[in-house]
Amino acid sequence: MLHTIFFDLDNTLYSRQSGIWEAIGDRINIYIRDKLNIDENEISSIRSYCRENHGSTLMGLKSLYEIDDLDYLSFVHDVDLSCILTDDGRLKDLLDSLPHRKLIFTNSDIFHAKRILNYFGVLEYFDHIIDVLTLIPYVKPQPKAYIKALSIAGLPSADGCVFVDDMIENVEQGDKQGFLSILVGEPINNTPSIPDIFELPELLKTYT
């Protein structure tokens, strides 16, 4: 029986087409350029290196330049949500329809997560926000990030747990850890997938 859903935040609870991730990406580039004094032509390769070798840009920059977590996260998430997102009430209706326990499991920080959830008026639906600061020194898709998330949730294993994310590498790792792992986005291989978060209830019916 499915009892708990671990939700990713960015590009999962809201549409990838919203533009938030692009706005955050621009802020990351500015941070690397202005605060680390790195030439713009090198930024793309540095970010790719960080993600491939450390799981996220933040963890890579910490390893390479010993940056401050909170300073970085505050800077890159400083975007005006009201100019990007639209709350049509659908997310709240979706969460209302799901009887499962709900948690956020994100590589973003708790402050950004709370801004997003409060914007949509859904913060109260989530028991925990398991964020990048809580997960240190791990991030998705590192296996120990999933083990730590389960521990924080007070669960001995991923049995009965659903994991929903927009990144295929995160979803594949969730599957390896025993979650029913669902990709939000275009189908890839045989991974269970939905085009957007609002299709989740129908998909879960096939597993009950």
Tell me how far the alpha carbon of residue 20 is from its chain's centroid: 13
Report the alpha-carbon distance of residue 11 to residue 18 in Å, rounded. Answer: 8
Angle between helix 57-65 and helix 40-54 axes, rounded to 10 deg: 100
Q: What was the pLDDT predicted at 21?
A: 83
* DSSP line for 133-177: HHHTT--TTSHHHHHHHHHHTT-SSSTTEEEEES-HHHHHHHHHT
Q: What was the pLDDT predicted at 193?
A: 97
Q: What is the set of domains in the chain, with CATH numbers?
A: 4-15+86-205 (3.40.50.1000), 20-76 (1.10.150.450)
Q: What was the pLDDT predicted at 76?
A: 93
Q: What was the pLDDT predicted at 20?
A: 87
- The tens-digit pLDDT sequence of the chain (208 residues) is 999 999 999 999 998 888 888 899 999 999 999 999 999 999 999 999 998 998 889 989 999 998 998 899 999 999 888 888 889 999 999 999 999 999 999 999 999 999 999 999 999 999 999 999 999 999 999 999 999 999 999 999 999 999 999 999 999 999 999 999 999 999 998 999 999 999 999 999 998 7
